[in-house]
């Protein structure tokens, strides 16, 4: 066998799956498709003023001032953006990154050695497989359970802990379940982690978006944690619908000495890459302010599509909409007539694209995941096509 100079951090099998092949074919045949997996806000018909990104041309961006954690003005802007949610964090505890995905990589470098473990929610964001593997970290799942709403299986989570566990990932609200971590859960998890010197990474990229009124206010407040060590992640990608601008951040909370020691080490990591562009840092305050108008449109869209979805699914007894509180996605439980893969591929033939639950590591079949971002009419038509197909298949 020919030996190749490649790391096993990148999977050996890079082949495309059946759904991607069916999609490629439908697009090559120019068949009309309603994309209920749309997650790119810049393609979802929102009104982005054409001069929205003018702050990126500010003359301050002409001077390179390398700072490991980013320019202080930009860190101040992020800190004051947390105040919008009633949260207080010192700008000195804010670290800028190019994206939330990069923030994960920075934190895995800070917290883990090769082969160490991080606990990852299941079901959750599929990119965690790559984000962990690319940094040589082993991801160990803990379950979210849906009864009358979602909750963390705390007993299962404790069983998943080992001597090599270095971090616990929380996604609040979670992609795709739309569940926020509750205050009670965070209190318990903080105690478990602080006692075992495990850091908490709280991914709050969707924290601005609720589909149940009051959900954001009821949710756990990660930055109020005072025991152990916690990192809250956010970014322009979701909070103002600007993924292409590439600005994310990490805000630290917890015991002062641990936060201080983490910042000292993060400084070395961030100084090695200096990956955040100066123009985006110079523009951060203004982009955060201007982006409020985009956030408002996205919030209205996800709330409206969720209500439509609830109404449409209620009329179809064989399907159930799993209760969600926030975020950009929703989950339908559907009858298992064949595999999820067969179902999503046959839906492409019907002109509609949805995610199968197994992409998100649902423990059983059959679930479908839809994005709440598509324009309202496309969304309603797409959901109607999915439900019609399922009813006919029964």
For residues 108 and 110, what is the distance between their CA atoms, to the nearest angstrom?
5
Among 37, 175, 312, 366, binds ligand PLP (CB under 6 A): 175
E runs forming strands in the chain: 34-35, 94-97, 117-122, 138-146, 150-152, 165-171, 199-203, 229-235, 248-254, 320-321, 329-333, 352-353, 355-356, 367-371
By beta-carbon proximity to ligand PLP, the closer residue of 194 and 243 is 243
β pairing state of 355-356 and 367-371: antiparallel
Q: Does 280 bind ligand PLP (CB under 6 A)?
A: no
Nearer to ligand PLP, 165 or 237 (CB): 237
Minimal distance in Å, beta carbon 391 to ligand PLP? 31
Residues 86-105 that bind ligand PLP (CB under 6 A): 99-101
User: Interface with ligand PLP includes 70 (CB under 6 A)?
Assistant: no
From first CA to last CA, the distance across the chain in angstroms is 49
194-253 positions binding ligand PLP, by CB under 6 A: 203, 205, 235, 237, 243, 248
* Residue 275 binding ligand PLP, by CB under 6 A: no
Q: Which is nearer to ligand PLP, 234 or 382 (CB)?
A: 234
CA-to-CA dists, residue 236 to 6, 68, 98, 226, 247, angstroms: 34, 19, 10, 26, 6
| DSSP code for 84 | T
Q: Which is nearer to ligand PLP, 190 or 237 (CB)?
A: 237
Sole binder of ligand PLP in the list 74, 94, 171, 348 (CB under 6 A): 171
Q: In which residue are the tokens 């305050």 written? A: 285
Element (H, E) at 245: none
Smallest gap from Cβ 12 to ligand PLP, in A, equals: 25
Q: Is residue 195 exposed (0-12), middle (13-18) or buried (19+ Cβ within 10 Å)?
A: exposed
Q: How many whole angstroms separate alpha carbon 231 and alpha carbon 229?
A: 7
Task: Report, in Å, the least distance between residue 280 CB and ligand PLP.
Answer: 13
By beta-carbon proximity to ligand PLP, the closer residue of 100 and 278 is 100
CA gap 257, 263 in Å, rounded = 10
Residue closer to ligand PLP (CB basis): 175 or 312: 175
Count of residues binding ligand PLP (CB under 6 A)?
Answer: 13
Q: Is 172 in the site for ligand PLP (CB under 6 A)?
A: no
**Binders of ligand PLP in range 118-157 (CB under 6 A):** 125
Residues engaged in binding ligand PLP (CB under 6 A): 39, 99-101, 125, 171, 175, 203, 205, 235, 237, 243, 248
């Amino acid at each position: 066998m020919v030996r190749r100079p490649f790391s096993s951090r990148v999977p050996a099998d890079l082949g495309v799956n059946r759904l991607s092949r069916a999609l490629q074919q439908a697009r090559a045949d120019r068949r009309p498709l309603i994309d209920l997996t749309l997650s790119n806000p810049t393609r979802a018909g929102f009104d982005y003023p054409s001069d929205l990104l003018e702050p990126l041309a500010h003359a301050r961006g002409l001077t390179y001032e390398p700072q490991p954690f980013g320019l202080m003005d930009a860190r101040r802007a992020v800190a004051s953006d947390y105040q919008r949610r009633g949260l207080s964090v010192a700008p000195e505890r804010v670290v800028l990154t190019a994206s939330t995905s990069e923030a994960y990589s920075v934190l895995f470098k800070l917290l883990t050695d090769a082969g160490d473990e991080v606990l990852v929610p299941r079901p959750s964001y599929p990119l965690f497989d790559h984000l962990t593997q690319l940094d040589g970290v082993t991801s160990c799942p803990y379950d979210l359970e849906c009864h009358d709403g979602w909750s963390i299986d705390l007993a299962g989570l404790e069983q998943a802990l080992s001597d090599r566990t270095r971090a616990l990932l929380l996604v609040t609200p979670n992609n795709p379940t739309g569940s926020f971590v509750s205050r009670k859960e965070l209190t318990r998890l903080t105690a478990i982690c602080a006692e075992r010197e495990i850091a908490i990474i709280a991914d709050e990229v969707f924290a601005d978006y609720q589909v149940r009124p009051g959900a954001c206010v009821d949710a756990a407040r990660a930055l109020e944690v005072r025991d152990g060590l916690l990192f809250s992640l956010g970014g322009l990608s979701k909070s103002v619908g600007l993924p292409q601008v590439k600005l994310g951040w990490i805000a630290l909370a917890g015991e002062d000495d641990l936060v201080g020691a983490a910042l000292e080490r993060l400084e070395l990591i961030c100084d090695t890459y200096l990956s955040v562009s100066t123009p985006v840092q110079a523009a951060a305050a203004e982009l955060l302010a201007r982006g409020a108008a985009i956030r408002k449109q996205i919030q209205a869209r996800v709330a409206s599509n969720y209500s439509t979805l609830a109404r449409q699914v209620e009329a179809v007894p064989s399907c159930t909409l799993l209760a969600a509180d926030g975020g950009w996605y929703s989950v339908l439980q559907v009858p298992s007539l064949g595999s999820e893969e067969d179902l999503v591929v046959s839906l492409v033939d019907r002109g509609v694209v949805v995610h199968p639950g197994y992409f998100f590591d649902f423990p059983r079949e059959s679930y479908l995941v839809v994005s709440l971002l598509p324009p309202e009419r496309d969304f309603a038509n797409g959901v109607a096509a999915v439900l019609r197909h399922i009813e006919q298949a029964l």
